[in-house]
């Protein structure tokens, strides 16, 4: 439920920037949606022009038919009565010829435009995915994966509907309406004026419908995103869901959100249905008037019967596409709402910016400095008021402190998931903001409480630390962290699949895999944020030994939950409300009378 409000909340413009709506009530694509659409189509300009040329031909073939009928009725028949079958034969041949042309152009158009829209959608999906991966942690901490999934699936899908079918219909509809209008004027001006008069109510109805619909489609986009978010969150946290018997409540939430989606969609469909109905009705009334007035003109000899027949045939073809336009308009509204959401994600900049002229650090000694760092996630609450800390190369620092003191924030700043609001964090005296991202991540690696394993084997997961590593190096890393014994029990050894998110491994074993990654990566600085706190005592012992191996000779900041980890530290820091309140060697602090001494005493008592 937590995400419901964020979908509407305005943070850095995402998800809330309205499309411009002009005074006539037409929905115009907002600047960024239009830019996105343009940039998507630009690489395929040639294919788009080809599709356009084919559709023009297709339209000519479609529109030509009734002209042949008029000619056959008015000239062909009279010539035939005089024994000259030529004109009638030509009409038949012409009609068939254009029919064949129409079949070929329709086929080619569907192929060309289908390929075109698939290519565009392919690019769009890739762009959203690539971009979202590059966005900083701060984005992902606010924009849930469910919302991203809904951008990639249902929003892309509604654009697909527009591109695939609707656009074909729209193009041919507009073309045939224009062509037919010209032919109608050419055939008979007074009748054309009547058709034109019928346009007045048509335009009024269209405007009314647009106004009524424009919010409806935004509503459906927001609603479906909520359904997906809820789905992803419930399944992602399925263990917590079952442990705390949250199924019923989740069902209820889904029902509520899905009802909103169903209702929003139904409302949008109802709007479209009334529009289509009214358009048809206006069409039929116009047709009746044309037939009555046309017959009158034929009787008075102002018009040939064949022309009237052609007129009636054309009117049918005139209003048919208007129906289609109504459908296209719906698809367009839906796609515009989707495009707006997608472009919102694409226009998000990573809050951690890449340096323009990066300083290359081929090797790092591992000197870490926090220099007068001020940091706040939001303007309303400062987490680190002014934080300074110097860690010499190779020092192992353990940090303890109450929950919410700002320890993880410090770790995230050192791993550059965030930049300080003021002051700087530096490695070997170089501000992290000046080091390229890849370069920085070679030297600073963070491990957190939950280690994520990807689908693939244990070896694949360890190799993440250094993709170029040989099999022997991977095996050595596993050995170094004490995984060898466990691996020996697996059916395929180190090449055993870890199953979904490492489901085959215990959390302690997953943590060891994460440490093996770090061992392989061999960075100068290691940040461990409560990396051992979820482990039971036996696995913790195992990890403890692994830690001593991988930390040897490196700078480390270990945020510890259990004091057993502190044993290997050279220095201990106690943090409170974003500042350091105690700083010294473990022995010194234990000998003193501060918080750490108390903590340590309590811990020792618990061991007895």
Ligand X SMILES: Nc1ncnc2c1ncn2[C@@H]1O[C@H](COP(=O)(O)OP(=O)(O)O)[C@@H](O)[C@H]1O
Which residue, 286 or 408, is less far from Mg ion as judged by CB? 408
Q: Nearest to Mg ion by Cβ — which residue?
A: 408
Exposed, middle or buried, 363 (CB in 10 Å: 0-12/13-18/19+)? exposed
**Measured from the CB of residue 604, what is the shortest distance to Mg ion in angstroms?**
24
CB 150 within 8 Å of CB 233: no
Kindly state whether residue 19 participates in binding Mg ion, applying the rule CB under 5 A: no
**Measured from the CB of residue 402, what is the shortest distance to ligand X in angstroms?**
7
CB 293 within 8 Å of CB 302: no
User: How far is Cα 61 from Cα 95, in angstroms, rounded to an integer?
Assistant: 9
**Measured from the CB of residue 172, what is the shortest distance to ligand X in angstroms?**
51
Closest CA to 16 of 278, 303, 238, 347: 347
Kindly state whether residue 44 participates in binding ligand X, applying the rule CB under 6 A: no
Kindly state whether residue 144 participates in binding ligand X, applying the rule CB under 6 A: no
CA distance to 78, 160, 237, 598, per residue, from 116 (Å): 49, 11, 39, 70
Binding residue for Mg ion, selected from 408, 448, 555, 565, defined by CB under 5 A: 408
Which residue, 32 or 416, is less far from ligand X as judged by CB? 416
Query: One symbol per residue from 363 to 402: x for binding Mg ion (CB under 5 A), - otherwise; what is it?
Result: ----------------------------------------
Query: Would you state the structure tokens that stand for residue 498, as one six-digit string?
Result: 């870890």
Report helix, strand or coil for 584. strand
Closest CA to 253 of 239, 225, 234, 266: 234
Instruction: Pick what 383 binds: ligand X, Mg ion, none; C-beta below 5 to 8 Å, kind-dependent.
Output: ligand X
Kindly state whether residue 306 participates in binding ligand X, applying the rule CB under 6 A: no
Closest CA to 557 of 396, 393, 389: 396
Which residue, 132 or 527, is less far from Mg ion as judged by CB? 527
**Measured from the CB of residue 24, what is the shortest distance to ligand X in angstroms?**
43
Instruction: Compute how many residues bind Mg ion; rule: CB under 5 A.
Output: 1
Q: Please report which helix (H) or strand (E) contains residue 120, including its range.
A: helix 86-134
Which residue, 293 or 377, is less far from ligand X as judged by CB? 377
Q: What angle do CA 551, 530, 582 make, to 5 degrees?
A: 85
Which residue, 309 or 531, is less far from ligand X as judged by CB? 531
User: How far is Cα 77 from Cα 71, in angstroms, rounded to an integer?
Assistant: 9
* Partners of 375 in beta bridges: 384
Query: One symbol per residue from 380 to 419: x for binding ligand X (CB under 6 A), - otherwise; what is it?
Result: ---x-----------------x-xxxxxxx----------
Residues 514-553 that bind ligand X (CB under 6 A): none
User: How far is Cα 437 from Cα 445, in angstroms, rounded to an integer?
Assistant: 12
Which residue, 275 or 418, is less far from ligand X as judged by CB? 418
* Partners of 370 in beta bridges: 389, 425
Instruction: Compute how many residues bind ligand X; rule: CB under 6 A.
Output: 12
Kindly state whether residue 409 participates in binding Mg ion, applying the rule CB under 5 A: no
Kindly state whether residue 377 participates in binding ligand X, applying the rule CB under 6 A: yes
Which residue, 210 or 408, is less far from Mg ion as judged by CB? 408
**Measured from the CB of residue 494, what is the shortest distance to Mg ion in angstroms?**
32
Kindly state whether residue 420 participates in binding ligand X, applying the rule CB under 6 A: no
Which residue, 219 or 374, is less far from ligand X as judged by CB? 374
Closest CA to 529 of 433, 415, 431: 415
Closest CA to 17 of 282, 307, 283, 344: 344
List contacts with ligand X (CB under 6 A).
141, 377-378, 383, 401, 403-409
List contacts with Mg ion (CB under 5 A).
408
């Amino acid at each position: 439920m937590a995400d419901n409000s964020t979908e509407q909340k305005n943070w850095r413009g995402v998800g809330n920037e309205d499309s411009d709506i002009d005074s006539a009530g037409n929905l115009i694509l907002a600047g960024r949606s239009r830019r996105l659409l343009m940039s998507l189509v630009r690489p395929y300009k040639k294919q788009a022009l080809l599709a356009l040329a084919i559709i023009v031909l297709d339209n000519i073939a479609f529109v030509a038919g009734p002209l042949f009928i008029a000619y056959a009725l008015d000239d062909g028949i009279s010539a035939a009565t005089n024994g000259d079958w030529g004109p009638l034969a030509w009409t038949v041949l012409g009609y068939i010829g254009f029919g064949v042309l129409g079949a070929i152009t329709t086929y080619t158009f569907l192929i060309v435009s289908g390929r075109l829209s698939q290519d565009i959608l392919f690019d769009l999906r890739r762009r959203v995915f690539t971009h979202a991966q590059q966005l900083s942690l701060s984005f992902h901490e606010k924009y849930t994966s469910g919302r991203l999934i809904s951008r990639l699936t249902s929003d892309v899908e509604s654009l697909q509907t527009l591109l695939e079918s609707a656009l074909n219909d729209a193009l041919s509809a507009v073309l045939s309406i224009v062509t037919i209008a010209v032919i109608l004027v050419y055939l008979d001006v007074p009748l054309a004026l009547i058709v034109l008069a019928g346009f007045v109510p048509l335009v009024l109805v269209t405007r009314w419908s647009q106004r009524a619909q424009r919010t409806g489609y935004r509503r459906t986009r927001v609603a479906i995103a909520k359904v997906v978010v809820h789905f992803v969150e419930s399944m992602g946290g399925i263990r917590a869901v079952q442990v705390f018997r949250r199924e019923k409540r989740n069902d209820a939430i889904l029902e509520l959100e899905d009802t909103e989606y169903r209702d929003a969609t139904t409302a949008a469909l109802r709007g479209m249905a009334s529009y289509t109905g009214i358009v048809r009705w206006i069409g039929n009334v116009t047709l009746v008037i044309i037939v009555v007035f046309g017959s009158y003109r034929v009787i008075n000899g102002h018009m040939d019967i064949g022309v009237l027949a052609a007129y009636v045939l054309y009117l049918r073809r005139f209003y048919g596409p208007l129906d289609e336009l109504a459908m296209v308009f719906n698809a367009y509204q839906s796609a515009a709402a989707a495009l707006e959401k997608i472009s919102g994600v694409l226009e998000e900049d990573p809050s951690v910016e890449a340096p323009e002229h990066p300083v290359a650090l081929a090797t790092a000694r591992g000197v870490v400095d926090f220099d007068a760092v001020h940091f706040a996630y939001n303007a309303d609450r400062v987490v680190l008021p002014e934080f300074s800390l110097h860690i010499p190369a190779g020092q192992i620092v353990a940090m303890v402190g109450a929950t919410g003191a700002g320890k993880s924030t410090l770790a995230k700043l050192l791993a550059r998931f965030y930049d300080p609001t003021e002051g700087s964090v530096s490695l070997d005296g170089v501000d992290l903001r000046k080091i390229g991202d890849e370069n920085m991540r070679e030297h600073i690696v963070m491990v957190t409480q939950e280690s994520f394993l990807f689908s693939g084997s244990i070896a694949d997961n360890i190799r993440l630390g250094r993709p170029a590593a040989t099999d022997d190096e991977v095996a050595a890393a596993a050995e170094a962290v004490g995984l060898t014994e466990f691996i020996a029990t697996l059916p395929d050894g180190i090449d055993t699949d870890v199953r979904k998110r490492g489901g085959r491994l215990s959390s302690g074993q997953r943590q060891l895999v994460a440490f093996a990654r770090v061992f392989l990566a061999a960075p100068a600085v290691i940040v461990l944020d409560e990396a051992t706190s979820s482990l039971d005592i036996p696995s913790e012992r195992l990890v403890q030994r692994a830690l001593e191996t991988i930390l040897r000779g490196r700078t480390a900041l270990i945020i510890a939950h259990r004091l057993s980890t502190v044993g290997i530290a050279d220095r201990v820091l106690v943090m409170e409300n974003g500042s350091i309140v105690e700083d010294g060697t473990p022995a010194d602090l234990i000998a003193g009378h501060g918080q750490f001494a108390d903590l340590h005493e309590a811990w020792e008592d618990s061991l007895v």
